[in-house]
């Protein structure tokens, strides 16, 4: 066995027990040893547990989460519940900063902090923060192991809930670390939940910090438990990966991956980017199709094609609204005796869980993220507390879903044939539209993605939020550069994926939705046919839309429903005014950003000219039948 390099070797020898020391030293990587020693010394935990990701390690962490009260056992075998502090229920945008050195700039809309100053601050916060706690040292990979996509990750956390969640959500990576030794370029995460209250939730929320040190490939997260802030490999790693991808010519995307099943057993792989509350999960769970991933994808080029992998192997899904009728697949998993961590739901007296929108009556009382709960309970601001938090979640492995695609762990990834962008848009985009080419799609669909705020978030309803590729919250490089990377990615491909936009939220003059929830099945089948040129399309100023007759057949086949011409006309009418207004909004946003490629403005301008010419000929609202001729 090799010794750790001097200095930190001593720390490890004295602070780790023999077994933990042996496990760590089996990885021949002094930089890693140094990292572990540094934070053991600084955070000062009572004990250090080094996980090799074996069945025993996984069992130990799972049981500890219950033993120390971070999770509570439920009546169903395998089920537990975890609570985050009442004020720690979502990603803390304000205190999540990208650390940048003096003289470097990430441009507008990205939250940054001075690297030197913020590193100092977080190291002060972390000092002795793990006293009385056990520290888990866990190894994972992002993406399948042993592949071009693989990024090894090491997570230090004093939360057994976080370590338990990561054991569900990510592939174990200890052996990958052993294999890569000194060659590894891992992402590193230091997390502490900090001081806990009697409910075992983080209490020092005024010292909640999530600092992303891009230069050091390290993320620090303190005094929080909510998964989006604490689970290093999820959205924290995503910022590091976006930066690395940009340097290396691949893409890290906030995308689902799914197989759409076409005629004669054909499976065509799609990715899809949707801002939150825009139908991403319901799309990933489309009945009859198969899921590879629901949240984060890495995209790389190989032999002229794009390949995609799911970075994860589990789901950290929103539970609100899940019911047996609309979400049969998720419903079944959530009612099976498999390992599930529920978070911030209501626990009933008999040890079951309830959430807003679940089948059946809301129980009159129980226990939730606010403590003891009863119907009508109000918070300190006088606001009624719902039975579960709108951002309440479930954490479960994908292997339990009956729609799991067999290619989840394929080290080569799946060949990607289509990318879909979808936002919440009441009046501009048609339900489904194909772009003319890669560049047109990236610029007018992905880079132009907006989503209207809903009643579920604070502030006015119907306000459009700019969210390019639904990735804005996670960008760690200037927006202009990110768009440029996306444009360039498609340039030298033999067969670039087709780019589509969908809109599940289009409304008519009466304010009612023009499409039904289930219609998305048809849009996806249509896109699948388009990929293989099995159906034609109608050119409009903004892209290519379906021919009525093709949709009529698909509605009959897929949903056994008659699709009326009137519905088609309403849904696919080109709304010139609204599209022009959108181009104005988007152009204005990009004008205010730095280093935006000139193609963005040119392609948007070309679209504007096409819309203006069409308006001269057909007026403000153009029926698809006029364009079909």
Which of 227/386 has CB closer to ligand SPV? 227
Q: In whole angstroms, how close is the CB of 241 to Mn ion at the nearest point?
A: 14
- As a whole number of angstroms, the distance between CA 217 and CA 153 comes to 10
Nearest residue (beta carbon) to ligand SPV: 228
Could you say which of ligand SPV, Mn ion, none residue 234 binds, taking C-beta under 5 to 8 angstroms by partner kind? ligand SPV
Name every residue whose Cβ is closer than 8 Å to that of residue 445 and which is 6 or more positions away in sequence: 421, 433, 435, 499, 500, 501, 543
Q: In whole angstroms, how close is the CB of 229 to ligand SPV at the nearest point?
A: 8
Q: What is the DSSP string of 466-500?
A: E-GGG-GGG--S-HHHHHHHHHHHTTT-SSPPEEE
Q: φ and ψ at 160, to 5 degrees?
A: -70, -25
**Position 316 contacts ligand SPV (CB under 6 A):** yes
**Position 91 contacts ligand SPV (CB under 6 A):** yes
What are the structure tokens assigned to 74, written together?
Answer: 């439920």
278 in catalytic set: yes
* DSSP structural state of residue 442: I
Which of 295/452 has CB closer to Mn ion? 295
Name every residue whose Cβ is closer than 8 Å to that of residue 6 and which is 6 or more positions away in sequence: none
Q: In whole angstroms, how close is the CB of 254 to Mn ion at the nearest point?
A: 6
Each residue 271-310 as x (binds Mn ion by CB under 5 A) or -, in order, gives ------------------------x---------------
**Position 253 contacts Mn ion (CB under 5 A):** no
- As a whole number of angstroms, the distance between CA 315 and CA 169 comes to 6
| Dihedral of alpha carbons 168, 171, 173, 174, sign | positive
Which of 235/525 has CB closer to ligand SPV? 235
Cβ(538)–Cβ(627) under 8 Å?
yes
- Catalytic pick from 43, 138, 153, 278? 278
Which of 295/450 has CB closer to Mn ion? 295
Q: In whole angstroms, how close is the CB of 391 to ligand SPV at the nearest point?
A: 8
- Nearest residue to 95 via CA among 197, 223, 240: 223
Q: In whole angstroms, how close is the CB of 382 to Mn ion at the nearest point?
A: 32
Which of 187/590 has CB closer to ligand SPV? 187
Q: In whole angstroms, how close is the CB of 365 to ligand SPV at the nearest point?
A: 28
What are the structure tokens assigned to 443, written together?
Answer: 């610029």
Burial (0-12, 13-18, 19+ Cβ within 10 Å), 278: buried
Which of 33, 191, 234, 358 is in the footprint of ligand SPV by CB under 6 A? 234
Which of 141, 192, 276, 448 is in the footprint of ligand SPV by CB under 6 A? 276
**Position 440 contacts ligand SPV (CB under 6 A):** no
**Position 228 contacts ligand SPV (CB under 6 A):** yes
Which of 184/297 has CB closer to ligand SPV? 297
For 611: left if phi > 0, alpha if psi spans -120 to 50, otherwise beta; the answer is: alpha
| Catalytic residue numbers, as ranges | 278
**Under the rule (CB under 5 A), what is the footprint of Mn ion?**
295
**Under the rule (CB under 6 A), what is the footprint of ligand SPV?**
91, 227-228, 234-235, 276, 295, 316
């Amino acid at each position: 066995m090799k010794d750790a390099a001097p200095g930190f070797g001593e720390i490890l020898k004295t602070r780790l027990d023999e077994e933990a020391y042996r496990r760590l030293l089996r990885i021949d990587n002094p930089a890693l040893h140094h990292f572990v020693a540094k934070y053991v010394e600084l955070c000062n935990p009572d004990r250090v547990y080094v996980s090799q990701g074996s069945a025993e390690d996984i069992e130990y962490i799972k049981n500890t989460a219950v033993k120390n009260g971070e999770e509570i056992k439920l009546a169903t075998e395998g089920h537990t519940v975890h609570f985050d502090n009442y004020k720690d229920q979502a990603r803390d945008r304000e205190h999540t900063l990208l650390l940048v050195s003096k003289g470097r700039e990430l441009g507008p809309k990205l939250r940054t902090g001075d690297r030197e100053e913020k590193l100092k601050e977080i190291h002060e916060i972390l000092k002795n923060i793990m006293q009385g706690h056990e520290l888990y040292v866990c190894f994972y990979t992002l993406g399948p192991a042993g592949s071009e996509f693989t990024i090894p990750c090491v997570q230090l956390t004093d939360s057994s809930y976080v370590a338990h969640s990561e054991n569900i959500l990510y592939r174990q990576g200890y052996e990958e670390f052993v294999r890569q030794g000194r060659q590894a370029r891992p992402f590193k995460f230091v997390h502490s939940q900090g001081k806990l209250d009697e409910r075992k939730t983080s209490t020092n929320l005024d010292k909640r910090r999530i600092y992303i040190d891009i230069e050091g490939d390290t993320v620090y997260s303190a005094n929080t438990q909510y998964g989006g802030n604490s689970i290093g490999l999820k959205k924290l790693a995503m910022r590091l990966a976006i930066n690395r991808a940009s340097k290396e010519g691949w893409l890290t995307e906030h995308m689902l991956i799914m197989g759409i099943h076409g005629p004669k057993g054909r499976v065509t792989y799609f990715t899809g980017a949707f801002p939150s509350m825009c139908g991403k999960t319901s799309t990933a769970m489309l009945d009859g199709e198969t899921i590879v991933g629901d949240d984060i994808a890495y995209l790389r080029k190989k032999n002229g094609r794009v390949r995609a992998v799911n970075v994860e192997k589990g789901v950290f899904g929103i539970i609100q609204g899940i019911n047996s009728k609309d979400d049969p697949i998720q419903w079944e998993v959530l009612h099976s005796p498999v390992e599930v961590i529920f978070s911030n739901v209501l626990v009933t007296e008999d040890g079951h869980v309830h959430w807003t929108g679940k089948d059946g009556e809301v129980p009159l009382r129980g226990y939730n993220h606010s403590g003891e709960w009863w119907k009508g309970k109000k918070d300190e601001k006088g606001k009624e507390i719902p039975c579960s938090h709108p951002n309440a979640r479930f954490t479960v492995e994908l292997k339990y879903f009956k729609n799991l695609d067999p290619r989840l762990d394929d080290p080569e990834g799946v060949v990607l044939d289509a990318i879909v962008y979808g936002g919440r848009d009441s009046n501009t985009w048609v339900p489904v539209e194909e772009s003319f080419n890669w560049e047109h799609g990236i610029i007018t669909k992905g880079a132009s993605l907006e989503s209207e705020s809903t009643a579920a978030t604070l502030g006015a309803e119907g306000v459009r939020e700019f969210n390019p590729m639904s990735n804005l919250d996670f960008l760690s490089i200037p927006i202009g550069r990110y768009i440029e990377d996306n444009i360039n990615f498609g340039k030298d491909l033999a067969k670039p994926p087709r780019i589509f936009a969908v809109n599940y939220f289009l409304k008519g003059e009466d304010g009612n939705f023009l499409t039904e929830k289930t219609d998305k099945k048809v849009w996806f089948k249509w896109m699948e046919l388009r990929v293989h040129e099995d159906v034609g399309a109608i050119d409009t100023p903004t892209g290519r839309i379906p021919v009525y007759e093709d949709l009529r057949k698909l509605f009959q086949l897929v949903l056994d429903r008659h699709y009326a011409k009137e519905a088609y006309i309403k849904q696919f009418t080109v709304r010139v005014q609204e599209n022009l207004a959108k181009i104005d909004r988007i152009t204005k946003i990009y004008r205010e950003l730095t280093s935006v490629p000139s193609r963005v403005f040119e392609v948007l301008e070309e679209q504007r000219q096409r819309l203006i010419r069409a308006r001269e000929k057909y007026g403000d609202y153009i029926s698809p039948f006029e364009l079909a001729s």
